[in-house]
Amino acid sequence: MQKHCWWQRLHWPEYGSELLGTAFLVFIALSAVTFNLGPGSPLAVVLPNSSTRRLMTGLMLAASGPSVSISPLGKLSGTHLNPAVSLAFWLQGKMHPHDLAGYLASQFVGAALGAGLAVLVWREWAARVQNGVTAPGVGYPLWSVFLLEMGLTCLLVLTMFLFLSSHRLMHWTPLMTWILVALLYWLAAPISGSSLNPARSFGPALVSWFWRDQWVYVVASPIGALLAVVLFRSLGRVGIHDVLTAKLFHAPRYRCIFKHIKAPQINTDQDGKLITPRKRN
């Protein structure tokens, strides 16, 4: 049996797709916040109501993830773009440990690149919104921000799992995440910043070198993901047993490196390598 070095088991195309997708997500998110919610923003002249502008911002930034999902990048990697989502799939037994590490590294690096690009492009406009750093709202205790981020991440991951466990709903997962994330941002942004994504918070914090209370966003979301997995498994009693795929938009023609996938897919070995059927003579 041929032995492979550890680095040969890594799936660099998927990691690269996650990196680029996360960079795009963070860049779009910070750009939307900059031009919709920043002091003196052009949209404020047309829509003085801050709640309406926040809803529009949520719809814009939430659209970045689904846009990546239906692109070739997302069809390859699965469009996690969020360490909490990757952690949830790993806890559910869908990811190899080395792929989890590769996805997490790609997401954090991608978030830093996306935030850096946003600050470089928008400069003083980005500075008006503190470069998009997520921070607790004024007057809200830290424990309430922690519980909110944990609870909303749990809701997001659990809803993803429910859609991905149904053959009829799985292809609508990107649309669901767009609507759900937009609504969550609209409702929770004044309280917690509505991050739900440790990488999204890490990127602006690194670029701005602002770390006050950032541990909340790094810790709360993974705990929320863990809670979502526990709740989802408890649904096995009512006939929901497992997610069918670890991709938010599953395209059978694209390689799938995940484990125990029950959705249609091309044939791969345990390391995600394509298996070419042998021709019979």
Q: Which CATH number fits domain 12-238: 3.90.190.20, 1.20.1080.10, 1.20.1250.20, 3.40.920.10?
A: 1.20.1080.10
- CA dihedral (30, 148, 17, 19) in degrees, to 10, reads 60
Using one digit for the tens of pLDDT, what is the confidence trace for 217-260? 999 999 999 999 999 999 876 667 789 999 999 988 999 999 98
For the record, the structure tokens of 118 come out as: 């946003």
Name the residue ranges covered by the structural domains of the chain: 12-238
* Average pLDDT score over the chain: 90
- Burial class (CB within 10 angstroms; exposed 0-12, middle 13-18, buried 19+) of 279: exposed
CA-CA distance, 63 to 58, in Å (whole number)?
Answer: 8
CA-CA distance, 236 to 142, in Å (whole number)?
Answer: 35
Using one digit for the tens of pLDDT, what is the confidence trace for 115-169? 999 999 999 999 999 999 999 999 999 999 999 999 999 999 999 999 999 999 9
Using one digit for the tens of pLDDT, what is the confidence trace for 224-236? 999 999 999 998 7
CA-CA distance, 106 to 122, in Å (whole number)?
Answer: 24
Using one digit for the tens of pLDDT, what is the confidence trace for 32-41? 999 888 887 7
Does the pLDDT value for residue 263 go beyond 90?
A: no
Q: Looking at per-residue confidence, does 278 or 138 come out higher?
A: 138
Specify the range with the lowest mean pLDDT, choosing from 3-12, 56-65, 81-90, 218-227.
3-12
